[in-house]
């Protein structure tokens, strides 16, 4: 456990007398003495041990799991890359990856919606901003399971309110959440609805950071509200948009709760809505297929890393830092 070299504290005295230039940020003017060094390790130890046990060690273990076959009585056998080969050949995996990417794409639709609401809330002299913000945010704090149950009830093919309302417009009854062709979108709508308020908060903060002078200058030049929105708000908000997009993609790739709640095991649309994480859950805890599940989890991590990396690369093309 070289992670906590507390024994090294004593010999650290001499080596850590670095130039004092960093001291201002670090908050100490004196060089570290062995007492503060020891205290620092004591301060870090509780969470450090927690991380070791519950995060760092499991990281290594999952990696190990992904190369083993789980026997019935703990008799795990090393199988090399077999799990990965199996996972990559499995049609359900590719379907789940496709679904997950689609959830990500649908999730991104939340951003323009929240930006529009944030821009409306930013109008000068608008009253009730706090009330609107509170109302839009409530779905986000609500128990996701409860959210899924309510929406399933709204979507219900027999008694659902959605069908009732649509029937006024002559749309015929539809089982939104159990028809394979609409179920993923039905879940996606709920995900968007749920997270609008969250991104709204990020964008309100971003818009507040834009100097008012720009708007006044543009107004003097005769730019209308729409023009001002596209030439000032959007470009200057782009760092916030970028941040939100990264978070949004990461969160969408982890889709699980809504799918688990809205899709019962008998639902005919299960296969066409299953995400990588829900497939992982099914394999790991319902079908006792841990080795393959671990491999699947690793693929998800690679996918997340790849998409995040891609976003950081593309950032240079559209994000403006003032």
Instruction: List the interface residues with another protein, window 20-49 (CB under 8 A).
Output: 24-29, 31-32, 35-37, 39-41, 43-44, 46-48
Q: Choose which of 207, 234, 250, 307 interacts with another protein (CB under 8 A).
A: 250
Output the smallest distance, CB 39 to another protein, in A.
Answer: 4
Asked if 3 touches another protein (CB under 8 A), the answer is yes
Output the smallest distance, CB 16 to another protein, in A.
Answer: 6
Centroid of chain to Cα 119: 23
Q: Which 271-290 positions form the footprint of another protein (CB under 8 A)?
A: 277, 280-281, 284-285, 290
Output the smallest distance, CB 32 to another protein, in A.
Answer: 4
Output the smallest distance, CB 318 to another protein, in A.
Answer: 19
Output the smallest distance, CB 31 to another protein, in A.
Answer: 7
| Contact code string over 148-177 relative to another protein, x by CB under 8 A | -xxx-xx---xx-x--x-------------
Distance CA 255, CA 190 (A): 12
Q: Which 106-145 positions form the footprint of another protein (CB under 8 A)?
A: 117, 120-121, 123-126, 128, 130, 132-139, 141-145
- SS3 sequence of 25-85: HHCCCCCCCHHHHHHHHHHHHHHHHHHHHHHHHHHHHHHHHCCEECCCCCCCEECCCHHHH
Q: Provide the CB-side half-sphere exposure for 84 (13 A, CA).
A: 12
- Grouping H, G, I as helix, E, B as strand and the rest as coil, residue 209 is coil
As beta bridge partners, residue 68 has 78
Q: Choose which of 261, 269, 270, 319 interacts with another protein (CB under 8 A).
A: 261
Exposed/middle/buried for residue 186 (C-beta within 10 Å: 0-12, 13-18, 19+)? buried
Nearer to another protein, 129 or 314 (CB): 129
Q: Which 51-110 positions form the footprint of another protein (CB under 8 A)?
A: 51, 53-59, 61-62, 65
Output the smallest distance, CB 92 to another protein, in A.
Answer: 17
Nearer to another protein, 182 or 278 (CB): 278
Question: Residues 178, 268: contact at Cβ < 8 Å?
Answer: yes
Distance CA 162, CA 175 (A): 10
Exposed/middle/buried for residue 83 (C-beta within 10 Å: 0-12, 13-18, 19+)? buried
Nearer to another protein, 234 or 308 (CB): 308
In the block, residue with structure tokens 């709508």: 189
Q: Choose which of 71, 98, 211, 225 interacts with another protein (CB under 8 A).
A: 225
Q: Choose which of 202, 236, 241, 269 interacts with another protein (CB under 8 A).
A: 202
Candidates 51, 77, 46; CA nearest to 64 is 77
Measured torsion, CA atoms of residues 129, 135, 140, 143, in degrees rounded to the nearest 10: 150
């Amino acid at each position: 456990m070289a992670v906590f070299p507390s024994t090294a504290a004593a010999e650290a005295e001499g080596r850590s007398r670095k130039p004092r230039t960093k001291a201002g940020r670090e908050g100490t003017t004196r060089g570290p003495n062995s007492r503060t060094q020891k205290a620092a390790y004591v301060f870090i130890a509780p969470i450090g041990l927690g991380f070791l046990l519950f995060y760092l060690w499991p990281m290594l273990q999952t990696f190990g799991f992904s190369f083993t076959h789980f026997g019935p009585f703990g008799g795990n056998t090393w199988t090399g890359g077999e799990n990965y080969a199996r996972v990559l050949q499995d049609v359900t995996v590719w379907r789940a990856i496709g679904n997950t990417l689609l959830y990500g794409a649908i999730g991104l639709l939340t951003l323009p919606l929240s930006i529009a609401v944030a821009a409306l809330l930013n109008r000068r002299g608008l009253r009730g901003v706090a009330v609107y913000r509170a109302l839009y945010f409530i779905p986000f704090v609500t128990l996701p399971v409860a959210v899924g149950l309510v929406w399933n009830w709204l979507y219900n093919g027999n008694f659902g309110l959605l069908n009732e309302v649509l029937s006024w417009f002559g749309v015929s009854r539809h089982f939104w959440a159990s028809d394979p062709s609409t179920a993923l979108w039905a879940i996606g709508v709920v995900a968007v609805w749920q997270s609008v308020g969250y991104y709204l908060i990020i964008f309100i903060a971003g818009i507040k950071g834009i100097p008012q002078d720009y708007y006044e200058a543009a107004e003097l030049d005769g730019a209308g509200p729409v023009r001002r929105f596209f030439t000032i708000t959007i470009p200057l908000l782009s760092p916030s948009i970028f941040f939100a997009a990264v978070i949004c993609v990461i969160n969408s790739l982890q889709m699980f709760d809504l799918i688990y709640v809205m899709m019962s095991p008998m639902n005919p649309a299960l296969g066409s809505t299953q995400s990588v994480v829900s497939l992982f859950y099914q394999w790991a805890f319902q079908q006792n297929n841990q080795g393959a599940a671990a491999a699947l989890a690793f693929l998800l991590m690679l996918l997340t890393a790849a998409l995040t990396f891609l976003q950081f690369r593309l950032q240079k093309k559209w994000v403006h830092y003032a």
